[in-house]
Amino acid sequence: MAIKIDTHNLVPKHVIMPKETLSELLSKLQVDSTEQLPIILRNDPSIKRLKPEKGDIIKISRKSLTAGSYTYYRVVR
């Protein structure tokens, strides 16, 4: 029996960011390029269903007891 990891309640929500929002995101995060972002691999089980391409930015939204919700970003390698 296969487990769908992307629907598990402990796995945060992963979404591919639109290319149009890239410059706005980089300025918000105060970075010059996507090379300065942490990486996530294309074959990561939590993003396989999204079929990401190299260079895509993944938005990860995680629930937090102290902050309510926390968002962070990864670049696909």
Domains of the chain: 5-76 (3.90.940.20)
Mean pLDDT by 10 residues, the chain (77 residues): 77 94 95 96 93 96 89 96
Sign of CA dihedral 26, 72, 15, 2: positive
In the chain, what is the straight-line distance between the N-terminal and C-terminal CA atoms, in Å?
29
Q: Look up the pTM and report it.
A: 0.88
